[in-house]
Amino acid sequence: MSGADDPDLAVGVDAFTEEGAGLEVAVVGAGAVGATAAYDLAREGADVTLYDRGSVASGSTGRAAGICYDAFADGLDAEIASDAIERFRALSGDDTFPFVECPYVWLAREGDDERADAVREEVARMQDNGVVAFEMDADALADRFPVLRTDDVAVAGIAGAAGYADPAEYAACLAAAATGAGATLETETPVEIRSDPTGVVRPNGELHEVDAVLVAAGAHTKALLADAGIDLAMKPYRVQALVSSGDFAEPMCYDATGDFYVRPHADGLLAGDGTETREADPDGYDRDADDGFADGLRERVAHRVPAIAETDASLERAWAGLCTATPDRDPLVGALEDGLYVATGFQGHGFMRAPAIGERITTEILGGEGIDAFDPTRFDGDEAFEIGAGMALEPN
pLDDT tens digit sequence for 187-202? 999 999 999 999 999 9
Percent of the chain with pLDDT over 90: 88
Task: Output the pLDDT for position 11.
Answer: 40
Buried b or exposed e, range 93-102, using 16+ CB within 10 angstroms: beebbebbeb
Per CATH, which fold does 7-65+167-234+327-378 belong to? FAD/NAD(P)-binding domain (3.50.50)
pLDDT band at 116 (very low <50, low <70, confident <90, very high): very high
243 φ/ψ angles, rounded to the nearest 5 degrees? -120, 130
The dihedral over CA atoms of 93, 174, 54, 337, expressed in degrees to the nearest 10, equals: -150
Is residue 265 scored above 60 in pLDDT? yes
Number of other CB atoms surrounding residue 284 within 10 Å: 6
Task: Output the pLDDT for position 19.
Answer: 66
Is residue 3 scored above 80 in pLDDT? no
Span(s) in the chain for CATH 3.50.50.60:
7-65+167-234+327-378
Provide the whole-model pTM.
0.93
pLDDT in tens, 321-339: 999 999 999 999 999 999 9
Question: Across residues 79-86, what is the average pLDDT?
Answer: 97
What is 9-70 written as a DSSP string? Answer: HH--GGG--STTTT-EEEEE--SHHHHHHHHHHHHTT-EEEEE-SSSTT-SSGGGS--EEE-
Q: Where are the beta strands (DSSP E) in 66-206?
A: 67-69, 99-101, 104-109, 133-136, 153-159, 162-165, 184-186, 192-195, 198-201
Task: Output the pLDDT for position 18.
Answer: 59
Angle between the N-to-C axes of helices 75-91 and 350-365, in degrees from 0 to 180, rounded to the nearest 10: 90
Q: Considering the domain 102-160+235-325 in this protein, what is its CATH number?
A: 3.30.9.10
pLDDT band at 1 (very low <50, low <70, confident <90, very high): very low
Task: Output the pLDDT for position 311.
Answer: 73
Separation CA 185–CA 98 (nearest Å): 23
Is residue 13 scored above 90 in pLDDT? no
Q: Are 131 and 72 a contacting pair, CB within 8 Å?
A: yes
Q: Are 255 and 153 a contacting pair, CB within 8 Å?
A: no
Is residue 2 scored above 90 in pLDDT? no
Task: Output the pLDDT for position 329.
Answer: 95
Is residue 317 scored above 70 in pLDDT? yes
Is residue 140 scored above 50 in pLDDT? yes
Separation CA 25–CA 339 (nearest Å): 9
12 φ/ψ angles, rounded to the nearest 5 degrees? -90, 165
Is residue 236 scored above 70 in pLDDT? yes
Number of other CB atoms surrounding residue 62 within 10 Å: 20
Q: Are 138 and 47 a contacting pair, CB within 8 Å?
A: no
Span(s) in the chain for CATH 3.30.9.10:
102-160+235-325
Separation CA 182–CA 172 (nearest Å): 16
The dihedral over CA atoms of 8, 14, 19, 25, expressed in degrees to the nearest 10, equals: 80
Task: Output the pLDDT for position 5.
Answer: 45
Q: Which of 218, 220, 232, 191 lies closest to 50, judged by CA?
A: 191
Is residue 8 scored above 80 in pLDDT? no
Determine how β-strand 212-215 pairs with β-strand 340-344: parallel
Mean of all residue pLDDT scores within the chain: 93
133 φ/ψ angles, rounded to the nearest 5 degrees? -140, 150
Is residue 4 scored above 50 in pLDDT? no
pLDDT in tens, 345-391: 999 999 999 999 999 999 999 999 999 999 999 999 999 999 987 76
